[in-house]
């Protein structure tokens, strides 16, 4: 293979790895938005907490990758439920802007509260994967890249299965479509909303651990940019719809790595937000979004 197509394939692999992280974070945004119509701006910071919990599990508790991932996902699931109960639930019937501002408050609380707890110093993620590389037709596959993609795909498949085929998943879809009608079915909507926050936050935690592994360093403000990017991914795919953020995240990752590959890596973030602007102008409901119509 000549070097240009090798380059392209290499960028695709990089893009998919990065994109799968965006997709995992974006899923949480979209699920929470789907169920209580709130853009949870603290979501990226939950990811940061997830990265730190994973770091703690690996360096202090000396756990291997999978148990550390689980540890981090469970801690963040609890954190997500706690945030919802304390900060958002009292505002369930308030105006949407009040909840949105609260979300920004929670975000700042986690960022700067986090600094007090873990200090603002950048920490190095321990190498959890062997540094093995596989070469296929001139394209490098890092062991870590493969595990990352696999983790993301498995988690998304699990989520899809849960939402489509389990009882709690059907209840989630019912609550997100019509809360009062769901109550009339006997669904405890508060529990379903908590459950949604738990799942969304656990996925963010997984993304945080992968992010730490991918970039090697973590800090208390690491959630801001990926959080915003994941928001772009969610909007791109169609916010509120489960498959949307998966595709949106992967696409965003690909675009970013292609832009970097072309030598314009300083334009990476600009391109991401340009996509957001274009989507909002051309198709605000996103790639998979339908315009909601009401039948009377």
Shorter beta-carbon distance to another protein: residue 73 or 163: 163
SS3 of 222, please?
A: coil
Residue 251 beta carbon to another protein: minimum distance, rounded to whole angstroms: 24
Residue 238 beta carbon to another protein: minimum distance, rounded to whole angstroms: 13
Max CA pair span of the chain:
63
Indicate which single residue of 66, 94, 108, 181 sits in contact with another protein (rule: CB under 8 A): 181
Query: Quick check: 21 and 48 in contact, CB under 8 A?
Result: no
User: Structure tokens of 12?
Assistant: 């695709």
Alpha-carbon span 229 to 265, nearest angstrom:
15
Query: Quick check: 67 and 53 in contact, CB under 8 A?
Result: no
189 contributes a contact to another protein by CB under 8 A = yes
Q: In the range 152-171, which residues lie near another protein by CB under 8 A?
A: 167, 170-171
Count of chain residues binding another protein (CB under 8 A):
19
Shorter beta-carbon distance to another protein: residue 166 or 265: 166
Count CB atoms within 10 A of the CB of residue 14: 21
92 contributes a contact to another protein by CB under 8 A = no
**Side-chain-side CA neighbours of residue 70 (13 Å):** 4
SS3 of 81, please?
A: helix
296 contributes a contact to another protein by CB under 8 A = yes
93 contributes a contact to another protein by CB under 8 A = no
Indicate which single residue of 95, 121, 136, 180 sits in contact with another protein (rule: CB under 8 A): 180
Query: Quick check: 13 and 253 in contact, CB under 8 A?
Result: no
Q: In the range 266-295, which residues lie near another protein by CB under 8 A?
A: 295
Residue 188 beta carbon to another protein: minimum distance, rounded to whole angstroms: 5
Indicate which single residue of 118, 146, 174, 276 sits in contact with another protein (rule: CB under 8 A): 174
Indicate which single residue of 60, 186, 263, 282 sits in contact with another protein (rule: CB under 8 A): 186
61 contributes a contact to another protein by CB under 8 A = no
Indicate which single residue of 178, 217, 264, 277 sits in contact with another protein (rule: CB under 8 A): 178
Contacts of 237 (CB under 8 A, 6+ apart): 26, 30, 243, 244, 245, 246, 247, 248, 249, 286, 287, 288
Task: Tell me the H-state helices in 3-42.
Answer: 3-36
For 124, phi and psi rounded to 5 degrees? -95, 130
Alpha-carbon span 209 to 237, nearest angstrom:
24
Shorter beta-carbon distance to another protein: residue 282 or 292: 292
Query: Quick check: 48 and 222 in contact, CB under 8 A?
Result: yes
Indicate which single residue of 66, 183, 264, 280 sits in contact with another protein (rule: CB under 8 A): 183
Indicate which single residue of 117, 135, 184, 282 sits in contact with another protein (rule: CB under 8 A): 184
Alpha-carbon span 275 to 236, nearest angstrom:
8
**Stretch in the footprint of another protein (CB under 8 A) among 9-17, 110-118, 149-157, 176-184:** 176-184
Shorter beta-carbon distance to another protein: residue 121 or 295: 295
User: Footprint of another protein on this chain (CB under 8 A)?
Assistant: 167, 170-171, 173-174, 177-178, 180-189, 295-296
């Amino acid at each position: 293979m000549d070097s240009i197509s090798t380059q392209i394939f290499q960028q695709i692999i990089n893009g998919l790895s990065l994109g799968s992280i965006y997709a995992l974070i974006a899923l949480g945004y979209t699920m929470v938005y789907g169920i209580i119509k709130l853009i949870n701006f603290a979501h990226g910071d939950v990811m940061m907490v997830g990265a730190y919990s994973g770091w703690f599990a690996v360096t202090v508790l000396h756990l291997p990758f999978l148990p550390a991932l689980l540890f981090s996902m469970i801690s963040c699931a609890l954190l997500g439920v706690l945030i919802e109960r304390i900060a958002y639930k009292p505002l369930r019937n308030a105006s949407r802007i009040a909840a949105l501002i609260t979300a920004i408050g929670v975000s700042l609380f986690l960022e700067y509260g986090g600094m007090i707890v873990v200090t603002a110093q950048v920490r190095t993620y321990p190498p959890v994967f062997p540094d093995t590389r596989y070469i296929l037709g001139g394209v490098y596959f890092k062991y870590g890249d493969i595990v990352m993609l696999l983790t993301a795909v498995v988690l998304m498949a699990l989520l899809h299965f849960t939402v489509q085929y389990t009882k709690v998943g059907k209840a989630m879809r019912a609550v997100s479509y019509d809360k009062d009608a769901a109550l009339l079915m006997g669904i405890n909507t508060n529990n379903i909303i908590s459950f949604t926050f738990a799942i969304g936050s656990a996925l963010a935690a997984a993304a945080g651990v992968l992010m730490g592994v991918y970039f090697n360093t973590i800090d208390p403000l690491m959630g801001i940019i990926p959080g915003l990017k994941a928001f772009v991914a969610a909007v791109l795919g169609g916010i509120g719809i489960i498959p949307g953020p998966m595709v949106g995240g992967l696409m965003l990752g690909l675009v970013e790595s292609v832009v970097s590959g072309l030598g314009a890596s300083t334009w990476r973030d600009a391109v991401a937000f340009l996509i957001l602007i274009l989507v909002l102008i051309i198709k605000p409901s996103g790639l998979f979004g339908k315009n909601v119509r009401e039948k009377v």
